Amino acid sequence: MCIMKSSEDLRRLLESIDRRSYPAYKSAQGSYDFSDYTLSIDHVQGDPFASPSKLSILVPHARAGYPAALFDKVYKKRALEDYLVRQFHQEIARFNFKAKGSGKSGLIAISHPGPEILTRTACQITQKGIIARFEVGFPANGRTINSGELIKILFDFLPRCARQVFFFKNRPASEVQAVADLAEDQYFIRQELKRLGLVSFVADGSILPRESGVSSRPMKGGVAFTSPASLQVTLNLPHKGTLTGMGIRQGITLIVGGGYHGKSTLLKALETGVYDHIAGDGREYVITDATAMKLRAEDGRSVRNVDISMFINDLPNKKDTKRFSTEDASGSTSQAAAVVEGIESGSRVFLIDEDTSATNFMVRDDLMQKIISRSQEPITPFIERARDLYEKAGISTIMVAGSSGAYFYIADTIIQMDCYVPRDITASTKAFCESYGAEPIGRAPNFTLPAAGRKLSSGRTGRTAAQSAGGRGFEARGQSLEARGQSLDGRSFGGRGGAGRDAEGGRSADAGRGGRRDDRIKTKTFGKDSLQVGKETVDLRFVEQLIDSEQTNALSQMLRFCVEKQYFERYSLTEAVSMVVKEMTAGGGLPAISDSSYAAMGLAMPRVQEIYCCFNRYRG
């Protein structure tokens, strides 16, 4: 049984190794009682220039003092954890690099969230108390230990920050309560969407435009959103009270308007509305069905055993489209696969922008159909399936259109964006369509949803999970990527847009291998855009609702977990995703599928839809 050491034991140890070579810091690993909290040194970096050391603290509820009513619901717990991460980040930023030394000496960092509220391993509220995970660069002069500077961090800086953030008595009570109240209001709106038959709600007064294309901050002087009277919905929130806004109904919604008038800005707000946002973001009351999925063309992606026959059939090469696979999909094929994969992931809303779609997949105009007959065209365009997707599968579509008017005929709601102001032009447009004379494009016959139980594995045997993921001769496809281990504040893994992360797991893929280092399946992430499991790179650049690099970190751990367990060979994709989610639910969240205690740092929970997207793009 491990005996808890005291904080004074740690101080004496650090004093005893002062001016020794850097590896002597390894002896400090362990847990220490600091009276108000327990400090754990989970992993010590190899030298001052390596990825920083991983630490965590556990503050018992009796010491923290946060009322249970602030985290008695899942959504309030997530919001409070997010709040504590943000506050702790602000506090430790005041002491970052105040302890001096070489390389990363003196760095103190934790996750730096954007405006979206995500479940993160950086802070977890458990039955025992509040756990915070962060990084510290252990100080050194060259590669000689400077323990005096580390004592300053652990016994001065850290206690001040921890008590200021994790002790309720030191926080403004009204500020903390406002976090819980906003979370409850946002949850209430999500429940109202179902009751009212809506897929999204955009509150009046919301600021949708962002500061720039690479900034998530609201645009200063941005036009406040005002809903058209015909689409206005009034909600009575538990805390904010009466709130009006635009309700987008289930069905097919078209967003049109001139260039630069706000069509894509509205769609982007709806995309990110699957997540709750913090107060002051401007989109905190923009709420979209949590399963909504952005679809787009993705030239060159792999597709594995997908039934795309709903959209593509009778190929000249006679290739089977009920079990279609390719290593290099075209735009139309990739978008067809994305629709089917979205259905499989449980999405109830598809979000589409004409600008990022394959034209021949979206529509074939009347003249093209007359010249190239249906018998000569293997592609059934989305416009011929959208109505059946809604009426027979319960999947709504919200689409931005700027060049083709064909969708006017099948749309239930048509919203024109005019200088960022929405106008409901449904009635006038439908009246014009009737007098225009053109025949609307009809529905395609034989609408059949793909069968359940798709497997990613082709059924080949004779290759172990480790060989599939990183074995000799199994080369990664796609662009070669490099990353240096950097810290949570953007200097290493975990920060928004961090350059890279290399996690060498602490658990072997097979207990029978004896835990040799070469047998472990290694993972890397490259910002939020891609990850690597073994030698296989997964390109996630076009999974547009993946909004944080820590979600990509989590996906790399989930994918590694499935490869180690050979889930893709043994189970269907849906079963594999369900088993990963079940493992996390039973094991206390994301740490349950991490390959070591310190690999559990810097993770954020993706949606089920993004888990499917990641697994579907894995070529291994």
pLDDT tens profile 269-289: 999 999 999 999 999 999 999
Higher pLDDT among residues 263 and 467, named by residue? 263
The answer to whether the beta carbons of residues 460 and 24 sit under 8 Å apart is: no
Of the three residues 416, 436, 456, the one that is the final residue of a domain is 436
Taking phi over 0 as left and psi of -120 to 50 as alpha, with beta for the rest, 497 belongs to left
> Helices 608-616 and 331-344 meet at what angle, rounded to 10?
140
359 and 472 together in one domain: no
204 and 276 together in one domain: yes
* Span 547-560, pLDDT tens digits: 999 999 999 999 99
Residue 515 has pLDDT above 70, yes or no: no
Q: Report if residue 404 sits inside a domain.
A: yes
20 and 135 together in one domain: yes
408 and 316 together in one domain: yes
Alpha carbons 395 and 435: distance in angstroms, whole number: 30
C-beta neighbour count of 196 within 10 angstroms: 13
* Mean pLDDT (whole number) for 486-509: 39
* Span 163-198, pLDDT tens digits: 999 999 999 999 999 999 999 999 999 999 999 999
Alpha carbons 423 and 416: distance in angstroms, whole number: 5
Q: Write down the pLDDT at residue 486.
A: 39
Q: Write down the pLDDT at residue 181.
A: 98
281 and 301 together in one domain: no
C-beta neighbour count of 597 within 10 angstroms: 15
Where is 130: in which H helix or E strand? strand 129-136
Alpha carbons 380 and 388: distance in angstroms, whole number: 13
Of the three residues 171, 205, 221, the one that is the final residue of a domain is 171
Q: Write down the pLDDT at residue 366.
A: 65
Q: Write down the pLDDT at residue 458.
A: 67
Lowest mean pLDDT among 309-313, 418-422, 479-483: 479-483
Q: Report if residue 304 sits inside a domain.
A: yes
* Mean pLDDT (whole number) for 585-599: 85
275 and 357 together in one domain: no
Instruction: Place 466 in a pLDDT band, splitting at 50, 70 and 90.
Output: very low
Amino acid sitting at position 322: K
**Domain carrying residue 199:** 183-250+270-288
- The residue to which tokens 């004496």 are assigned: 12
Closest CA to 262 of 189, 215, 206: 206
Higher pLDDT among residues 215 and 51, named by residue? 51
Residue 430 has pLDDT above 90, yes or no: yes
90 and 110 together in one domain: yes
* Mean pLDDT (whole number) for 494-498: 38
Q: Report if residue 52 sits inside a domain.
A: yes
Residue 507 has pLDDT above 60, yes or no: no
Q: Cα–Cα–Cα angle for 478, 483, 486, nearest 5°? A: 150
Where is 79: in which H helix or E strand? helix 74-93
476 and 605 together in one domain: yes
Q: Report if residue 210 sits inside a domain.
A: yes
Q: Write down the pLDDT at residue 130.
A: 98
Residue 478 has pLDDT above 50, yes or no: no
Longest dimension (CA), the chain: 89
54 and 202 together in one domain: no
* Span 374-412, pLDDT tens digits: 666 789 999 999 999 999 999 999 999 988 889 999 999
* Span 361-373, pLDDT tens digits: 998 766 666 676 6
113 and 194 together in one domain: no
Sign of CA dihedral 270, 272, 278, 283: negative
Lowest mean pLDDT among 77-86, 93-102, 318-327, 589-598: 589-598
Beta bridge partners of 141: 144
* Span 202-237, pLDDT tens digits: 999 999 999 988 888 999 999 999 999 999 999 999
Q: Report if residue 490 sits inside a domain.
A: yes
Alpha carbons 203 and 263: distance in angstroms, whole number: 17
Laid out side by side, the sheet with 501-503 consists of 501-503, 523-526, 530-533, 536-539
375 and 496 together in one domain: no
Residue 467 has pLDDT above 60, yes or no: no
Q: Write down the pLDDT at residue 439.
A: 73
* Mean pLDDT (whole number) for 339-359: 97
Indicate the average pLDDT of the chain.
89
Q: Report if residue 332 sits inside a domain.
A: yes
38 and 150 together in one domain: yes
* Span 25-49, pLDDT tens digits: 999 999 999 999 999 999 999 999 9
Of the three residues 117, 151, 171, the one that is the final residue of a domain is 171
Closest CA to 118 of 616, 582, 554, 489: 554
Residue 601 has pLDDT above 90, yes or no: no
* Span 536-550, pLDDT tens digits: 999 999 999 999 999
Alpha carbons 405 and 383: distance in angstroms, whole number: 11
Q: Write down the pLDDT at residue 370.
A: 64
Q: Report if residue 450 sits inside a domain.
A: no
Q: Write down the pLDDT at residue 213.
A: 81
Q: Write down the pLDDT at residue 376.
A: 63
How would you classify the pairing of strands 198-203 and 286-288?
A: antiparallel
Highest average pLDDT, of 389-398, 433-442, 499-508, comes from: 389-398
Q: Write down the pLDDT at residue 620.
A: 82
* Mean pLDDT (whole number) for 567-586: 95
Q: How many domains does the chain have?
A: 4
Q: Write down the pLDDT at residue 164.
A: 98
Alpha carbons 598 and 133: distance in angstroms, whole number: 9
Alpha carbons 571 and 583: distance in angstroms, whole number: 15
The answer to whether the beta carbons of residues 557 and 603 sit under 8 Å apart is: yes
* Cα end-to-end distance, the chain, whole Å: 41
User: What is the token pair recorded at 412?
Assistant: 């239930």
Q: Report if residue 176 sits inside a domain.
A: no
The answer to whether the beta carbons of residues 73 and 187 sit under 8 Å apart is: yes
Q: Write down the pLDDT at residue 374.
A: 66
